Every structure is written in structure tokens, then in C-alpha cells.
Chains A and B, each alone.
Chain A
Amino acid sequence: MTGTFDLGWWGVALAIVAGAMRVSTPYLLVSLGETLTEKSGRVNLGLEGTLVLGAMSAFAIAYLTGSPWLGMLSAGAAGAALGLLHAAISNLPRVNDIAVGIALFIFGIGLAFFLGKPFIEPRATMLPGIPLGNWSASPAIRSAFEISPMFFLGIALAIALEWGLKSTRWGLILRIAGESADAARAIGLSVERIRTFATMAGGFLSGLGGGFLSLYYPGNWNEGLSSGQGLMAIALVIFARWSPLRCFYASLLFGGASAIGPAVQTVGITEGYYLFNAAPYVLTLGLLIYSSSRTRTLAGAPSELSISR
């Protein structure tokens, strides 16, 4: 903290950049997961619940086994399990995926709180960061450039998904299911199976996002950990127009907005602290209004989504 004072307002900028990279990671993972799910023609609104359950599982397993990586794996598995549940219920005839999503949102949070009670106090082994700031003597810069491997994993995933959706067999199959269920059935694909897989993959990534929250930043487990980040990530997918690469840019933007509050606090501005903390929520609202239109439907939205039909 003392280092930031030395850097003055540069410190604020640095803190926002570092914060953006740190805070954007869960946004990125959840929004990539939701993009996958929505590209297959389903909306999973339950990702907030998945995020919280993932955070709890990661923390609990890391605490019990001492391995944060095992914790991450179990977070992904918990997310995939919730995804499977969502898909299995939504596959039933006359079931609305949005309603199921809201139910699982509440269910996921409730389950996480119930199972996570004993883990609120203890400390678990955290995920290590990659120290990229060792060239500098300033501790502020060193801590700012200690970056989680999950952030890089997110970037790699965004690029891989952007390419994969266009140029792989799986990508094409996923998009057929999302663009025209009839066309998919006509060529003998099982739309339900594709969507089940996509929802599970989306759940897995969201679970990882939760693991990042509890094992890296902020790096503990409590019931107010997520504060709606899973929901904002879904809004972010719409803003990013279902493109994985744009999800990455949008996540950085959201991460940066979330980092404003803590960053200005470090230079001693405490007035309006809560107002600054509201920045990401205001941004969400603003972007949704900006990207909506009275006269046109959303460009790029998969045609099978219940919101675009």
C-alpha cells in the first residue's frame, strides 16, 4: 500500500490496470462459458449460482487437501454438474430454460451457503500468481504485475473459442444447434445432446471463475463473495455479441470499472467510495441500454435463443 502513495496518481492508473486483469478473470471465464451455452441455443441464467458454488467447492477442497489446483478442478466439476442439471431439466418438453436458470441460480447459492458454512473462518492454500514484475524495485509494480495463470488461461480460451467456433467440426455443430434446431435435426444431430454438452462446458468454465474468486482474488470464502458477477457476465455476453474475443475486451472493461473503487481508495479518496464501487453495475445498465434498440433485433444473437424468438 505504501508504494502506491509514492506513485501518486500514476498509482491509481496502475491499480486500475492491475485490478482490471485481476477482476476481469471471473467475468471472462463466466462469459466465455455462457457464450458457449448460448451459441448452442440455450440461456443459462443460473451461472451466478454456479459461480458461488464453484467458489465454495474450490475453497473447501483446497482447504481439505492443501492443493489449490485440485480445488479448481472440483469447482469446474461442480459447475459442470449444475450445467448438467440445467440441461437435463431444459431438455424436457415445455420447459423454459430461463425459468430453470433462475431456479438453479437460487439453488446453487443456497447449496453453497449450506455446505460452505464451516469454511468461512479458515484459510486455504491460495493459487500462485506468476510474478511478471520482478524487473522493478517498486513493490507496487511487483504486486500489480503478479498475474494469475487463470487470466492467461482465459485469454487462450477466448482465442481458441473464437477460432474453434468458426473452424472446427465441434464449433460448426454447436452453431447449427443454436441457429436452427430444425436444420440440426434434419442432418441427424441430437440438439439436446449438443446443448447438454454446451451447458456443461459453460458450467465448468463458470465453476473455474468461482474458484478464482475464492482461491486468488479476493481469495477467501464468504457469502457476499460474488455480488452478482455471474449475472453481469451474462449481460456482458450480450454486449460482446456472442463473440469470445469481444468477451475478453468487455471483461477487461468491466474489470477496470470494478477496480476504480479500490484504486481511488488507495490514494486516500474515501468520499463516494460506494459510488465508485457501483461503477460496474452502472456500466452494465448503460451498456444494455446502449446495445438495445426499439426498431431492430440484436445482431448476432443465435436464432434459437428464447430471447430472440
Chain B
Amino acid sequence: MRNKPTPPEIEIVGLCKSFAGLRALDQVSTSFRAGRLHALLGENGAGKSTLVKCLMGYYRADSGQILVDGQRHIMRHPSDAHALGLGMVYQHFTLVPQMTVAENFLLGRQSLPAVIDWRAEHSALDQFMEGMPFRLDPRRLVASLAAGEKQKLEILKQLYLGRRFLVLDEPTSVLTPAEADEVLAEMRRLADARQLSVVFITHKLREVMQFAQDVTVLRAGMVAARTAVTATSETGLASLMFGAELAEQKAAAPTRTAMPEQAAYLELEGLHAVGDRGAPAVVGASLSIRPGEIVGIAGVSGNGQKELLEILAGQRQAQAGSVRVGGRAFRGTRGELERWGVSLLLEEPLLNAAVRSMSVMENLALRQFDRPPLAIAGWILKRRALWPFAQALIQRYGIRASSPSAPLETLSGGNVQRTVLARELARPVRLLLMQNPCFGLDVAAASEIRQQILRVRNGGAAVLLISEDLDEVLQLSDRVLVMASGRISYETDRSHADRYVIGRHMTQARARPSP
């Protein structure tokens, strides 16, 4: 195709970009050298994605220049970037799940033949895979691939299209540590062989230190540093990324008080359930949690964690097995949730656990709106009592909203999360069930919410933490479980938890078969 002998080199000079008056990029200058693995490091909201989207032609920069091999180019549209051999792998996969690997390969091609000869295409793809770092069967349905395989497919697709400069947007966020290492090591190998220039976006310092050659640190839309990795250290990068103060705060381990041994408060026994497409999602899961204990479930998303939590939340029916809370059968009805002090923090609360167009105040009252003091006799609502009730929670949890009556959807992600957390912790908690509680939050908000979780644990509640973020599971849990293919496949306690052993169990059983 448009292959050149060496991968392109890119120079960015004084790039600025604002959204609705908010400065996302402020005079950003950096360069991505040919045949190097370059890390773009920064916190959520530091401008990493905006920068690469300007480079790829998704956004038009307000000012500044992009030079490819010393030539100035204006990226109006992704196809401009593609024509220069620049490609990007997005954080949210752009694959079409209900199509095969081969079909997904063909999609990006500039010119598709009017009639597709599948036999020839399949054998051509098999041949292409021969020379590639990763291999996949072109006949498989993408929906049946594990997250790691999807990431590999995205990268393969870019190589298949002849791209010589790759941007990977948080490539390891959905991968296990071993998979992340494999992908990044391969990228480094391709860069060293001068087949590719690679830029990867990350907020994980370990990956930068281990694999990258160059690093650009972004903070609040500005370049905090650009340097060779050998010329810096992990602590140096951390303070560049967060500012010295926060880096210290992040490093400080949260307190964890010793708890007496008690009988289990939540017990799951041989739970079975099917997922939305009818395939088995939870397969014989059993676990128990004692008061004052955080049990973390690690796992690649889509291995039954969501369905497991939905059973506990009363949103999905189990086909077999039992759920017991405080020794009694539990079905997740509203009355039971209240009686046993069960609180829920579901993932993506704006979608799953709140009413987006209702006000902050009303969302805060969703659990108690028909109970005194907010209601009389269970059906006459006292709207006047709502305001002070909400005000107290808003203050206590530091929710930033223009007013208690502002619709919830106008709040930032962190504040929506705080609102739901405040609602769930507003009454005595004896069992807290959570999935990805800090997903998409910035470091400050995440560490604050993690502190809250520990406080709930130290207060004697049993806590179930389901998370795709292995660091979070390791940081918070007293015991770590791994869920793979709907089964609890591994269990260890805090002191014996090893991220590589856990990672191996996360991928050992492959993702569920396609529906």
C-alpha cells in the first residue's frame, strides 16, 4: 500500500485546543521519533486523548502545527491521517462484535471488491497472520474473543492496513498484567525493528518504565516534561504527573483496622445464571464475606461479574444456587435491602443506579423518599424535608452541584459517583456491594472514594468489590478472588496476593463461547 521504508516521525508544535471555553491543550509541543515506543503519560483529563485526536484528525486544533517527516500537514479528517500511514487503536474498541474477524479486517480497507471471495480472503488473512506477532482465526466471531484478543485484533488491523505510526489509547486498561506485557513488548519489538513508530497513552508508571523509550508527561493540558525514560525515575514521573503533593497522598496506604473473626454475613452457594444473550454467565459461583472484610473479585470484564452483582441487586434471576444474608435467604427486594442494611454501588451509576433527568436531591432520596422523615404514612411526600436531607449529604460527601435541584446528568462523573455513594451510605450499612466504583474518576476523586470504602469496612460492614482494575482490588481487598468464565477460579488472602499469579488465573479459562 502506502508503505514507506521507515516509519514516520512526527513533530507537534504549540498545539492549542479549547472546548466550550475550557482549555484542553495549551501550547503543547512534543515529538514522536521514528521507530521508538513513546509513552504519553498523564491523569484523566490531562489532555492525552485530545492531543492524539487532534493528531488523528478527529478534532481540529485551534492553533499549532503538526509536522509529519518535517512536512506540515493539516488533519481535517481521520482519512487525512490514514493517508499518511497514521493509525489509532481506541480505548473503546471499534470492532463490530457480531461480525467475524475476517469481516472486521475488511471493513477498514479503502476499496472493497463488489463481490467478496471469502475463501481467497481467508487464506490471504491466514498468510498475513503468519508474519505477525499475534495470530487469530479469521473465521471467529469477534463477540467470542477475550478482551486481550480484541486488542490484538485492533493492532493487527492497523498493521494489515499498512499503518506505520500507531497510537494506542490506554491499550492495557482492559488487559491482565501478562497480556499487557505481551502487547507492549511486541510493540517495542516492532519499533526496534523500525517497522513502526508507536505512541501509547497510559497512566500506569510501571508500563512506562518497563517498555517505553521516550515519555511525554501531560498535566492540565500542558507538557510537564518530555524526556527519555532512562533519564527519569518512577517517583520523578509521579510528581510530574500529579504534582508533588498528590503523589505523596496517593502513596500513603489507607488505614486498615484489625477485625475480629465473625460468622459470614453474605454467603453465595453454587450460583448459576445466564447472560443477556442466553449463554451461561455465572457458573456455580460460591463465596462468603464476613463483617469487616473486603472481598475483591478481579477479572477481565465480561466473565460474569456483572451478572453476579445483578443477582445480588435483585436485577437478574439465578437459575440455581442460593444467596444468604445474615443466615437468611435473600432475593434483593427493597424491603430486604433495607432490613439487612445492603447498599449497592453499581457500575456506570448514571445508567444503572440513578435517574439522570431527576435532580441531585431526588436521586439522593431514592432509597428513603417514602419513609419518615421524608414522607407521611408511606405515601405523602414531604418535599420540604427533602432539601435539608439532601443538603446534609451534599455537604458531607463534597458533591459539587450548582444546586440540589440540578438534574443529575449535569454533574461530572466523579460527582455522580459521590451522589450515589452518599445515597447508599446514608443509612446504616452492613453489606456494601460494588462494581468498578472508581471507573473514569480522576486520581483525587478515586482515592477519596476508596477511603470511604475502607471506612465502611472498618465500621464493621461486609464489602464485595468487583473491579476490572487489579490495582484497586489489590489495594483494598482483605481477600482476593478471581472470576473467569463465570467461575470463581482462584482465591488468596491479602498477604499472598501476587499480580502475575492473579493475572494468569484471569485469563486461564478463555472468555465465554459466543452466543
Assuming the contacts A188-B79, A293-B278, A297-B276, asked whether A167 and B116 have C-beta atoms less than 8 A apart, the reply is yes
> Which of B94, B103, B107, B275 has the largest number of chain A CB atoms within 10 A?
B107
Residues in B with CB closer than 8 Å to A186 are: 78, 90, 94
Residues in A with CB closer than 8 Å to B263 are: none
Query: How many angstroms from the CA of A263 to the CA of B166 in the assembled complex?
Result: 67
Residues in A with CB closer than 8 Å to B278 are: 293, 295-296, 299
State whether the Cβ of A303 lies closer than 8 Å to any Cβ in chain B.
yes
Give B94-149 interface residues, CB cut-off 8 Å to A: 94-99, 103, 106-108, 112-118
Assuming the contacts A167-B118, A299-B515, asked whether A172 and B78 have C-beta atoms less than 8 A apart, the reply is no
State whether the Cβ of B277 lies closer than 8 Å to any Cβ in chain A.
yes
Interface of B is mostly: loop
**Min C-beta distance of A10 to chain B, whole Å:** 43
What is the total of A-B residue contacts with beta carbons within 8 Å?
63
B79, B94, B275, B317: the one contacting A183 at CB < 8 Å is: B94
State whether the Cβ of B274 lies closer than 8 Å to any Cβ in chain A.
yes
CB atoms of A297 and B277 under 8 A apart: yes
Query: How many angstroms from the CA of A187 to the CA of B106 in the assembled complex?
Result: 11
CB atoms of B317 and A172 under 8 A apart: no
CB atoms of A179 and B94 under 8 A apart: no
A168, A179, A183: the one contacting B116 at CB < 8 Å is: A168
**Min C-beta distance of B336 to chain A, whole Å:** 21
Query: How many angstroms from the CA of A187 to the CA of B77 in the assembled complex?
Result: 11
Query: How many angstroms from the CA of A303 to the CA of B96 in the assembled complex?
Result: 9
CB atoms of A172 and B112 under 8 A apart: yes
Query: How many angstroms from the CA of A172 to the CA of B515 in the assembled complex?
Result: 21
CB atoms of B99 and A175 under 8 A apart: yes
CB atoms of A187 and B99 under 8 A apart: no
CB atoms of B277 and A180 under 8 A apart: no
CB atoms of B113 and A183 under 8 A apart: no
Residues in A with CB closer than 8 Å to B103 are: 172
Residues in A with CB closer than 8 Å to B113 are: 169
Chain B interface size range:
20 to 34
Query: How many angstroms from the CA of A179 to the CA of B515 in the assembled complex?
Result: 16
Assuming the contacts A167-B118, A182-B94, A183-B94, asked whether A172 and B274 have C-beta atoms less than 8 A apart, the reply is no
Query: How many angstroms from the CA of A259 to the CA of B116 in the assembled complex?
Result: 40
CB atoms of B116 and A169 under 8 A apart: yes
CB atoms of A179 and B99 under 8 A apart: yes
In the complex, which residue of chain A has the Cβ closest to the Cβ of B117? A167
Query: How many angstroms from the CA of A176 to the CA of B97 in the assembled complex?
Result: 10
Assuming the contacts A186-B78, A295-B317, asked whether A172 and B115 have C-beta atoms less than 8 A apart, the reply is no
**Min C-beta distance of A261 to chain B, whole Å:** 36
CB atoms of B79 and A168 under 8 A apart: no
**Min C-beta distance of A218 to chain B, whole Å:** 39
Query: How many angstroms from the CA of A303 to the CA of B116 in the assembled complex?
Result: 23
In the complex, which residue of chain A has the Cβ closest to the Cβ of B82? A188
CB atoms of A183 and B96 under 8 A apart: yes
**B-contact bits for A296-309, CB 8 A (1 contact / 0 none):** 11010011000000
Residues in B with CB closer than 8 Å to A176 are: 96, 99, 107
A169, A182, A187: the one contacting B115 at CB < 8 Å is: A169
Q: Chain A residues in contact with chain B, CB under 8 A?
A: 166-170, 172-173, 175-176, 179-180, 182-183, 186-188, 293, 295-297, 299, 302-303
Show 12 residue pairs from A and B whose CB-CB distance is below 8 angstroms, ordered by the A residue. Answer: A167-B115, A168-B115, A168-B116, A173-B112, A175-B96, A176-B107, A180-B96, A182-B94, A183-B96, A186-B90, A299-B277, A299-B515
